[in-house]
Amino acid sequence: MDVAASTAVAANRGSGLFVDNVTKQFGGVYAVRDVTLSCEVGQIVGLIGPNGAGKTTLMNLISGTLTPTSGNVYLGGQPLGATSPETCAEAGIARTFQNIRLFKRLTVRENVEVASITFRRLKREGIEVPNVDEILDLLGLSAMADLKAGHLPYGHQRRVEIARALALAPRVILLDEPAAGMNEQESHALISSVRMIRDRFGCGIVVIEHDLKFIMEVSELLYVMHLGAVIVSGPPEEVRHDERVIEVYLGRKARK
Ligand SMILES: Nc1ncnc2c1ncn2[C@@H]1O[C@H](COP(=O)(O)OP(=O)(O)OP(=O)(O)O)[C@@H](O)[C@H]1O
């Protein structure tokens, strides 16, 4: 059994996320085809692929926005089943979106507090209510906590989205293009924040990102999708040199 497959089996039994042979068809189009993926609690997993590879559809399947045509998503060894974003949050999955979805007229703190109120409504016994101030501090947002979210630069709005997802005390958090629109300095700082989130909250983190420098540095395990399927998975250093990945990204065979 290879590394990815053995990790997947461990996650299925353990407390992490396990996507088991999931397919999503829209009519005749296979947006996601037979995808198996795992993210253990405490692990940072990257997901890359060219436009249309199926990454967002996969995120939507994990977070309950879409229902798989076949296959299952497990969290902590329990199938999530055909479910909604609300029940996924209840199970412990939170996400951010490619297109930012903040309450722009509310302050940064209020945006995070709204999520905190949602968390209290969820039936998640035995899980400590996350501290809003601590989350703001972790994301470097304390100094702008009382500013309207819509007035912040784009990179900071992305951080507020992450803060809001963290207020749901997720076991696994899905970050959809968190570095989009950030300059190099901001995306470098985001790498430290993602690691701190993992260390402080002990959650699993799945990151979709087009910024290859960012994803190679932040991920411990990387999956590459193409035309709906996972074509390669493994440590970023190995994936980076894989011929199939070079071909998909650069449209040519790797030189020997
Ligand atoms: N609701 C839908 N109906 C029909 N086809 C869809 C639907 N959603 C996605 N698709 C198709 O599924 C495929 C995968 O799309 P998806 O958005 O998941 O890719 P992606 O890897 O996230 O791309 P990008 O990096 O551009 O966001 C594409 O061919 C897309 O056109």
pLDDT in tens, 42-62: 999 999 999 999 999 999 999
**pLDDT averaged over the chain?**
87
- Is 237 domain-assigned? yes
- Is 227 domain-assigned? yes
- Looking at residue 38, its pLDDT comes to 95
Q: Please choose from 35, 55, 97 the residue to mutate so as to test ligand 1's pocket, defined by most ligand atoms within 8 A of CB.
A: 55
Kindly write down the DSSP assignment for every residue of 22-42, as one continuous string.
Answer: EEEEETTEEEEEEEEEEE-TT
- Is 122 domain-assigned? no
- Is 119 domain-assigned? no
CA 202–ligand 1 middle distance (angstroms) = 31
Distances (CA, A) of 139 to 47, 133, 194, 241: 22, 10, 9, 33
pLDDT in tens, 87-134: 888 888 998 887 778 888 999 999 999 888 877 777 677 777 778 999
- Is 143 domain-assigned? no
Query: CA-CA distance, 253 to 229, in Å (whole number)?
Result: 19
- Is 240 domain-assigned? yes
| CATH code, domain carrying 178 | 3.40.50.300
Expressed as residue numbers, the domain containing 239 is 3-105+171-250
Beta bridge pairs of residue 20: 72
Number of independent structural domains in the chain: 1
Residue ID of nearest Cα to ligand 1 atom 2: 26
- Is 132 domain-assigned? no
pLDDT range class, residue 14, cuts 50, 70, 90: low
CA 177–ligand 1 middle distance (angstroms) = 15
What predicted TM-score, i.e. pTM, was given to this entire model? 0.88
pLDDT in tens, 171-187: 999 999 999 888 888 88
CA 54–ligand 1 middle distance (angstroms) = 5
- Is 90 domain-assigned? yes
Helix (H) or strand (E) holding 234: strand 229-234
Q: What is the dihedral of CA 120, 201, 17, 225, to 10 degrees?
A: 120
CA 115–ligand 1 middle distance (angstroms) = 28
Distances (CA, A) of 162 to 105, 174, 182, 216, 248: 18, 9, 14, 20, 30
Residue 111 tokens, joined? 């945006």
Q: Please choose from 22, 25, 29, 176 the residue to mutate so as to test ligand 1's pocket, defined by most ligand atoms within 8 A of CB.
A: 29
